Amino acid sequence: MIPELGLILLIISTVSSLLLAVIPLVALHTKNHYLFSYVKTLTGLMTFTITASILCLLISFITDDFSVAYVANHSNTQLALLYKVAAVWGSHEGSMLFWVVAIAIWGCIIVFSSKYRDRLFIGRLIAILASVIAGFNLFMLFTSNPFARLLPNFPIEGRDLNPILQDIGLIFHPPLLFLGYVGLTVTFAAAIAALLGGKLTRTHAGYLRPWALLAWVFLTGGNAFGSWWAYNELGWGGWWFWDPVENASFIPWLVATALLHSVVLSHRRDSFKVTTLLLCLLAFSLSLLGTFLVRSGIVQSVHAFASDPTRGMSILFLLGVFVCGALTLFALKANQIKSELNFTLVSRDSVILLGNIVLVVAAISVLLGTFYPLLFELLDIGTLSVGAPYFNSIFIPLTFMAVLLMGAAPLISWKREKFSALRPLIVLFIIALAIAETLSMLTGSGFNIWLFLGATSATWLILCLGYLLFRLRHQGIEGLARKSAMLIAHLGVAISIIGATSVSNFEQQELLRMGPAQGKVVAGYTFVYEDTVNVDEKSYTAIQANIRVTDADDNFIGYITPQRQTFKTNAMEVSKAGIMRNIFRDLYVSSGLQLSDTEYLIRISYKPLACWIWLGGLLMMLGGTIAALTGLYRLRVQKAAYSNSNPIATRIEGLA
């Protein structure tokens, strides 16, 4: 009964979203205020029904209703309750439903918060959001029904959740990523609303800015937690592999980074409006393209959802409809968007614009590297592998350029800057180069271009932030508070670069045949294999190696306990790494195949400053969150001021 109720609610949500996609546009075109009054009702109905629908799916998981195909394929009676909840979005059908629920809730917040007075803009925005929801709902109903039954013959036990997904990363990574995609959907809808109205005012840009920031924050968190999850769970010890599915979420993040900086220019300077709108469309299009990549089955990855071609073609159809329609509208309407272009070559405006260009070029470069092998196979030319060497050789220099511009932008004035004012920047850059060159020499391994670029980037950015703080000293707490979000986010970028550069260039690793009483010294630490024990948990059994670790002075530090786990439900084996962490390094040990009665293949790694990669990501999220909340607060203040000065208009809005 619960699954049928969930399906009925999904159908009701689809019908209400189809109505909501049409009614606001008709009401605005005909100036029918009575018809427009149904917008809030339909928005509430759509959001309530789709949210209740996913709750029905959650109940099916909690009650082990294996007559539901999705539950039977991704759960088990032995699965922990926390993972049963996370399994709701653990695979294709549930993740699509979660995505649509998040879009609906976000749209409901926009409609009912009443923070904005432009009813035309909001009406068009919610109509576009409803169109996207309707498209995804129809996709689920016809190709990816999460409530499909296995009646009359259904299993008494489920197949269990993929063991790789039984990790805390499943709780954070997919929801953050989907919320980021939802934010890009909102910015897409806002861009279409602006194009339909033929204008993007500074007020519109100010309204758009917090949503773009929140989308970027969630995407940052999604990518960072995904990297952390792979590092901990897969047992390879790497934090980024340039996997096609990893790239699918990273490419929209690059464009979203360009978007949030472009929105700043549109809001503060009333400029680059067409660029902002194009980036809104591009970011959403790339998120849909990534969705197609993950769910079409055209790539093989541990991250990809197993799927049939029908689903891939359906997503490709949605991609074609939304993207082609949006780009056609952009081509027809972009010339109506007027922008102020009052700046010189040396100004903050031009530096931010150049930085955005670099970010978009980086996104296109990663996109080409990801899809070129697929096109090669599709055209039946042969097979081609594009790996880390290509991505590193293209992406790292572009990142270096972007970081140089990132450090310089806050230190350059708007519109125009005298060349004499650039002298401090030149001095800071020379210092950064000197520090990076000194570091390269101290390593004693000769000149390393990747180490040099990474060290220069991080040093330059930290020096620029320090100089900016020095310049803000006369403005007191108020001046520092205005810049705090940017300072924290840019510091996070510098810290992530330091972590990535350190791990990539100074990691030490040994692949050994080890058994009881055998030891090895790695990076000054002594690892001694003491014994092997059998572990029996509720969902798996494991062979665990107890490895004693001492430092260079033979002081005992602790034990690292890597495991080779075998899950009871499906006999799948996974390697669970043992990690000893602190702020300066990770000691990473993974256990591989059994080589003899007592010996195993053991990988020992010393990873300096590894946690800085994700610490930087958290700081970026914090900075973006502060900026977004500040923007939302300003919207509330503006709304209050407008309401006090226009009480009649406010009452009319309330009726709408």
559-615 pLDDT, tens digit each: 999 999 998 888 888 889 999 999 999 999 999 888 998 999 999 999 999 999 999
527 and 517 Cβ atoms separated by less than 8 Å: no
429-472 pLDDT, tens digit each: 999 999 998 888 887 667 788 999 999 999 999 999 999 999 88
1-13 pLDDT, tens digit each: 899 999 999 999 9
| pLDDT for residue 506 | 92
The H helix count followed by the E strand count for the chain is 19, 10
- Split at pLDDT 50, 70, 90, the class of 655 is very low
> Is 646 a residue whose pLDDT tops 60?
no
**Which range among 189-193, 437-441, 478-482 shows the weakest confidence by mean pLDDT?**
478-482
More confident residue, 117 or 149: 149
3-class state of residue 555 by DSSP: coil
> Is 256 a residue whose pLDDT tops 90?
yes
| pLDDT for residue 360 | 96
- Split at pLDDT 50, 70, 90, the class of 264 is confident
| pLDDT for residue 136 | 94
Hey, what are 461's tokens?
């950015």
Task: State mean pLDDT over 483-503.
Answer: 95
| pLDDT for residue 70 | 95
**Which range among 45-49, 240-244, 261-265, 326-330 shows the weakest confidence by mean pLDDT?**
240-244
Q: What is the SS3 assignment for 4-27?
A: HHHHHHHHHHHHHHHHHHHHHHHH
DSSP assignment letter at 305: P
Q: What is the SS3 assignment for 493-520?
A: HHHHHHHHHHHHHHCEEEEEEECCCEEE
Q: What is the CA radius of gyration of the chain?
A: 27
Of 344, 295, 338, 333, give the one whose Cα is nearest residue 315: 295
**What is the residue-averaged pLDDT of the chain?**
88
Q: CB within 8 A of 638, min separation 6: which ones?
A: 115, 206
Q: Distances from the Cα of 405 to the Cαs of 348, 457, 601, in angstroms? A: 10, 10, 46
- Split at pLDDT 50, 70, 90, the class of 640 is low
| pLDDT for residue 544 | 95
Q: CB within 8 A of 646, min separation 6: which ones?
A: none
23-35 pLDDT, tens digit each: 999 998 888 888 9
Percent of the chain with pLDDT over 90: 60
DSSP assignment letter at 156: S
- 220, amino acid identity: T
Hey, what are 482's tokens?
């205005």
DSSP assignment letter at 91: S
More confident residue, 264 or 88: 88
User: How many angstroms separate the CA atoms of 30 and 264, rounded?
Assistant: 34
627 and 486 Cβ atoms separated by less than 8 Å: yes
| pLDDT for residue 647 | 47
> Is 42 a residue whose pLDDT tops 60?
yes
| pLDDT for residue 299 | 59
> For 58, phi and psi rounded to 5 degrees?
-60, -45
User: How many angstroms separate the CA atoms of 73 and 82, rounded?
Assistant: 17
- Split at pLDDT 50, 70, 90, the class of 382 is low
> Is 644 a residue whose pLDDT tops 70?
no
**Which range among 153-167, 485-499, 508-522 shows the weakest confidence by mean pLDDT?**
153-167
Residue 528 Ramachandran class (φ > 0 left, ψ -120 to 50 alpha, else beta): beta
User: How many angstroms separate the CA atoms of 609 and 582, rounded?
Assistant: 8
- Split at pLDDT 50, 70, 90, the class of 282 is very high
577 and 495 Cβ atoms separated by less than 8 Å: no
DSSP assignment letter at 162: -
User: How many angstroms separate the CA atoms of 259 and 256, rounded?
Assistant: 5
184 and 284 Cβ atoms separated by less than 8 Å: yes
User: CA torsion angle for 124, 285, 314, 17 (degrees, to 10)?
Assistant: -20
User: How many angstroms separate the CA atoms of 83 and 195, rounded?
Assistant: 43
3-class state of residue 383 by DSSP: coil
Nearest-10 crossing angle of helices 92-113, 38-62: 150
| pLDDT for residue 244 | 84
| pLDDT for residue 341 | 67
Task: State mean pLDDT over 202-221.
Answer: 90
| pLDDT for residue 257 | 96
More confident residue, 635 or 613: 613
Cis? peptide before 3, omega within 30° of 0: no
| Cβ atoms within 10 Å, residue 299 | 18
Strand order from edge to edge, sheet including 585-594: 508-514, 600-608, 585-594, 578-581
Q: Distances from the Cα of 643 to the Cαs of 112, 116, 207, 422, in angstroms? A: 16, 10, 17, 45
User: How many angstroms separate the CA atoms of 412 and 194, rounded?
Assistant: 30
Q: CB within 8 A of 512, min separation 6: which ones?
A: 518, 520, 601, 602, 603, 604
132 and 193 Cβ atoms separated by less than 8 Å: no
DSSP string, 313-374: HHHHHHHHHHHHHHHHHHHHHGGG--------SSSHHHHHHHHHHHHHHHHHHHHHHHHHHH
| pLDDT for residue 78 | 86
> Is 303 a residue whose pLDDT tops 70?
no
For the chain, the domains span: 1-163, 508-611
User: How many angstroms separate the CA atoms of 400 and 411, rounded?
Assistant: 18
Q: Distances from the Cα of 615 to the Cαs of 20, 224, 584, in angstroms? A: 42, 9, 12
193 and 25 Cβ atoms separated by less than 8 Å: no
> Is 19 a residue whose pLDDT tops 70?
yes
Task: State mean pLDDT over 614-635.
Answer: 89
| pLDDT for residue 442 | 81
- 408, amino acid identity: A
> Is 68 a residue whose pLDDT tops 70?
yes
